[in-house]
């Protein structure tokens, strides 16, 4: 599994192949990423990274890159070493 | 809740369930669900309909997961959001297959005006709105009973709103949100208490014990789904625990230790004066343990004393300590000696005619608990630590003894079994018929109808030993069977010199396509009436009824279970011929219906022909 907690979460959540590249994870490319999945994904991200998203941010969480950007702004993302997963 | 079940699972499934439970991560929950699907032995199918005023769709995997851990194979049917009455007032044939209907609603949708009282005619107009909601609750129950009378209905209480401005003012008025919720909930409790088949899903209690941690305002606004991930998982287990009594019979007996459990200290070493049992700390912990145990006894859980002591010492503690709450006689069986506790528990189970999986074990000693766990895996170990506070918590938190209802049989059980345990000692009497006559038994044969249906369904769900087919019919299934033209449903009520024993035997028979033929669907006798001939009495009544309805042939079957060896040859004894058999089942035919004798030691009182 990748040494990137966000990538791990997204691969697990959408049941993607383990070697999926982060750049390919976007709402456009993943059919299962509908509005229901969005609600569940936000729940999952808030739980995993102990964050709360602002209303503005919610509209932008449409890809790996955008989610990562939000987490980085909150100081909740570091790719190495692996953050402890619950 | 699922500790014991999980221990028997393969490593992969067990690890996945634990990980899902600890992380509350949706991906882990889904993974555990996938792995559970691969198990060969799943729990029983469990059809649950969910009607909700909040959006449960995102939560479904959590509910599915928690219900699977009962274990069961849940089939969840989620009604369209807010369409509660529309769904209930629907004469759907599929209602027949439902095991439970659950209504989950919140003040945010049911009565949003109380969140903004000054904008909605506070107080008079609001009080009128509260009345309307009370009527709505009543109407919902009526509709349910009209369209799906056999389906257990669970109505949620309204939790206090997580998000409410001006709480202080809200609390000062009967038209405020908090008082409105209290009134509505009070009506829901009343309705459940008053009517069979209506139960409370106490979401208000769950939310109160969860605190603010279960709520998530973002998800609430975004999706009308108010709970965080841990809140969703916690709600799943709360729902599972609330529905559990529909699937899993509660444990019937608690076998427990004496020293350092009922009191602090060891009677053989400390003498009466040295025992820790008082109204002051820490003796009050043991006092509270005893109060909880007495309550269990009064609710129909049989207490068995397993103590390594001299009996005289132990009894002296009961007789002489002024603070004792439990009496020596509160234990239906007492095994106070130096044998292994698992051997004594087996003996107690045999005396009470209970299966080993009816027992829970409580002991402060790690050694005793471990030995019990290894010797008799069916026994549920109640506590995981010997600390008295932990024992008390285990008593508070266990679901092993939980039930939705309390029957007259429950209240009488301690007495009934005390008599039986004593009787087994007398049982060495060679003159069996003389002994049976001395019991002065009198039976009434009743048709199964509304008034005794609950007891019949309870018996179907619990009876293991004298049970020819072990069919665990729901209330709805029994009603469906008996609605068939020509079906016969009989229940036998027993009275003896010790009192009214209630309904102790049940027989369901339905016609089959072959002309004049009846098939015995279920035939069972409660374990506390075994060996007394009531099965012959019921069979005699059944043949009489079958002849009256001009049947001339009976089919029946014996399905072997882990517990019903006792009746493996029962139909042979009644004169059936074996028609077909394999390792687990024997099919029988009785080619001619003749009368069968009523046991001479049992008197028969009037037959109730109300149908």
Q: Tell me what pLDDT residue B498 has.
A: 74
B232/A9 CB distance under 8 A: no
Residue B611 above 50 pLDDT? no
Is the CB of residue B541 less than 8 Å from the CB of residue B593? no
pLDDT band at B561 (very low <50, low <70, confident <90, very high): confident
Phi, psi of B531 (to 5 degrees): 75, 15
- Which tens digit of pLDDT belongs to each residue from B301-345? 999 999 998 899 899 999 999 999 999 999 999 999 988 999 999
Distance CA B349, CA B359 (A): 8
Residue B114 above 60 pLDDT? yes
- The reply to whether A36 touches chain B by the CB within 8 Å rule is yes
With CA atoms as reference, the chain B residue closest to A10 would be B27
Q: Which of A8, A20, A40, A61 to mutate to test the interface with B (most CBs of B within 10 A)?
A: A40
ipTM surpassing 0.90, yes or no? no
- The reply to whether A20 touches chain B by the CB within 8 Å rule is no
Residue B435 above 80 pLDDT? no
- The reply to whether A58 touches chain B by the CB within 8 Å rule is yes
Query: How far does the CA of residue B112 sit from the closest CA of chain A (Å)?
Result: 23
Q: Which residue in the set B28, B218, B230 is minimally distant from A42, CB to CB?
A: B218
Q: Which residue in the set A36, A47, A58 is minimally distant from B25, CB to CB?
A: A47
Neighboring chain A residues of B22 at a CB cutoff of 8 Å: 86
Task: Output DSSP code: residue B264.
Answer: B
Read out DSSP for B215-246?
B-HHHHHHHS--B-HHHHHHHHHHHHHHHGGG
Q: Tell me what pLDDT residue A80 has.
A: 54
With CA atoms as reference, the chain B residue closest to A36 would be B58
Is the CB of residue B251 less than 8 Å from the CB of residue B359? yes
Q: Tell me what pLDDT residue B425 has.
A: 46
B229/A12 CB distance under 8 A: no
CATH for A5-73, options being 3.40.50.460, 1.20.140.10, 1.10.1200.10, 3.90.550.10: 1.10.1200.10
Q: Which of A42, A43, A49, A83 to mutate to test the interface with B (most CBs of B within 10 A)?
A: A43
Query: How far does the CA of residue B259 sit from the closest CA of chain A (Å)?
Result: 41
Which has the minimum average pLDDT: B37-41, B430-434, B607-611?
A: B607-611
Question: If you average pLDDT over every residue of chain B, what do you get?
Answer: 91
Phi, psi of B79 (to 5 degrees): -75, 160
Q: Which residue in the set A12, A44, A52 is minimally distant from B218, CB to CB?
A: A52
Mean predicted confidence (pLDDT) in B239-263: 95
Mean predicted confidence (pLDDT) in B218-232: 93
Closest by Cα among B439, B442, B441 to B427 = B439
Which has the minimum average pLDDT: B67-71, B488-492, B605-609?
A: B605-609
- For Cα atoms B86, B87, B88, give the angle at the middle one, nearest 5 degrees: 95
Query: How far does the CA of residue B17 sit from the closest CA of chain A (Å)?
Result: 14
Q: Tell me what pLDDT residue B501 has.
A: 82
Mean predicted confidence (pLDDT) in B192-198: 83
Q: Could you tell me the domains of chain B?
A: 42-246 (3.40.50.1110), 253-397 (3.40.50.1000), 441-604 (3.40.630.30)
B27/A44 CB distance under 8 A: yes
Mean predicted confidence (pLDDT) in A70-79: 85
- The reply to whether A7 touches chain B by the CB within 8 Å rule is no
Residue B237 above 60 pLDDT? yes
Q: How many residues does chain B have?
A: 611
A46/B218 CB distance under 8 A: yes
Residue A83 above 80 pLDDT? no
Residue B149 above 60 pLDDT? yes
Distance CA B60, CA B42 (A): 19
- Which tens digit of pLDDT belongs to each residue from B213-222? 889 999 999 9
Chain B residues in contact with chain A using a Cβ-Cβ cutoff of 8 Å? 22-28, 30-31, 57-58, 216, 218-219, 222-223, 225, 228-230, 232
Start-to-end Cα distance in chain A: 15
Neighboring chain B residues of A12 at a CB cutoff of 8 Å: 25, 27-28, 31
A43/B26 CB distance under 8 A: yes
């Amino acid at each position: 599994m990748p040494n990137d907690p966000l990538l791990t979460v997204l691969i697990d959540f959408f049941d993607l192949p383990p070697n999926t590249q982060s750049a390919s994870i976007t709402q456009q490319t993943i059919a299962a990423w509908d509005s229901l999945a969005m609600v569940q994904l936000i729940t999952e991200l808030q739980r995993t990274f102990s964050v709360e998203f602002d209303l503005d941010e919610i509209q932008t969480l449409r890809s790996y890159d955008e989610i990562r950007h939000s987490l980085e702004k909150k100081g909740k993302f570091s790719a190495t070493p692996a953050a402890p997963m619950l | 809740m699922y500790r014991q079940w999980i221990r028997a699972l393969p490593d992969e499934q067990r690890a996945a369930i634990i990980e899902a439970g600890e992380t509350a991560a949706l991906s882990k929950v889904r993974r555990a669900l996938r792995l559970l699907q691969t198990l060969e032995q799943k729990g029983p199918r469990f059809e649950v309909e969910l009607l909700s005023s909040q959006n449960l769709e995102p939560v479904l995997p959590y509910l599915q997961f928690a219900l699977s851990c009962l274990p069961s194979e849940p089939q969840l049917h989620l009604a369209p959001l807010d369409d509660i009455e529309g769904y209930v007032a629907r004469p759907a044939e599929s209602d027949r297959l439902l095991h439970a209907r659950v209504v989950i609603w919140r003040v945010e949708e049911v009565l949003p005006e109380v969140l903004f009282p000054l904008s909605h005619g506070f107080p008079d107009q609001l009080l009128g709105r509260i009345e309307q909601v009370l009527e709505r609750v009543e109407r919902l129950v009526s509709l349910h009973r009209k369209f799906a009378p056999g389906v257990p209905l669970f109505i949620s209480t309204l939790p206090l709103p997580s998000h409410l401005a001006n709480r202080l003012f809200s609390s000062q008025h009967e038209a405020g949100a908090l008082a409105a919720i209290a009134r509505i909930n009070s009506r829901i409790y009343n309705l459940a208490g008053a009517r069979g088949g209506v139960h409370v899903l106490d979401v208000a209690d769950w939310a109160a014990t969860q605190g603010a941690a279960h709520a998530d305002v973002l998800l609430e606004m975004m999706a009308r789904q108010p709970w965080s991930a841990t809140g969703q998982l916690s709600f799943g287990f709360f729902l599972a625990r609330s529905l559990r009594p529909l699937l899993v019979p509660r444990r019937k007996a608690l076998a427990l230790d004496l020293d350092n459990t009922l009191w602090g200290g060891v009677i053989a070493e400390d003498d009466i004066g040295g025992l820790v049992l008082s109204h002051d700390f820490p003796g009050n912990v043991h006092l509270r343990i005893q109060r909880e145990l007495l309550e269990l006894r009064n609710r129909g859980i049989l207490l068995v004393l397993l103590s390594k002591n001299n009996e005289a010492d132990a009894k002296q503690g009961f007789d002489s300590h002024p603070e004792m709450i439990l009496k020596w006689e509160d234990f239906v069986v007492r095994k106070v000696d130096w044998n292994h506790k698992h051997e004594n528990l087996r003996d107690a189970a045999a005396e009470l005619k209970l299966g080993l999986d009816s027992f829970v074990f409580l002991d402060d000693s790690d050694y005793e608990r471990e030995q019990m766990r290894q010797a008799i895996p069916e026994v549920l170990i109640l506590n995981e630590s010997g600390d008295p506070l932990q024992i008390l918590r285990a008593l508070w938190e266990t679901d092993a003894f939980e039930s939705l209802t309390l029957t007259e049989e429950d209240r009488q059980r301690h007495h009934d079994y005390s008599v039986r345990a004593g009787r087994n000692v007398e049982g060495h009497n060679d003159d069996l018929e003389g002994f049976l006559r001395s019991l002065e038994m009198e039976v009434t044969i009743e048709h199964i109808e509304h008034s005794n249906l609950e007891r019949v369904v309870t018996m179907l769900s619990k009876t293991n030993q004298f049970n020819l087919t072990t069919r665990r019919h729901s209330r709805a299934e029994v009603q469906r069977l008996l609605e068939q033209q020509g079906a016969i449903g009989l229940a036998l009520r027993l009275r003896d010199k010790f009192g009214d024993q209630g309904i102790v035997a049940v027989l369901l028979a339905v016609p089959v396509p072959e002309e004049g033929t009846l098939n015995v669907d279920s035939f069972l006798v409660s374990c506390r009436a075994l060996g007394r001939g009531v099965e012959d009495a019921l069979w005699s009544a059944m043949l009489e009824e079958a002849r009256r309805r001009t049947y001339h042939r009976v089919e029946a079957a014996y399905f072997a279970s882990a517990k019903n060896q006792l009746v493996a040859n029962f139909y042979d004894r009644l004169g059936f011929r074996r028609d077909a058999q394999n390792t687990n089942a024997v099919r029988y035919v009785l080619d001619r219906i003749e009368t069968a004798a009523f046991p001479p030691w049992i008197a028969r009182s009037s037959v109730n022909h109300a149908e």
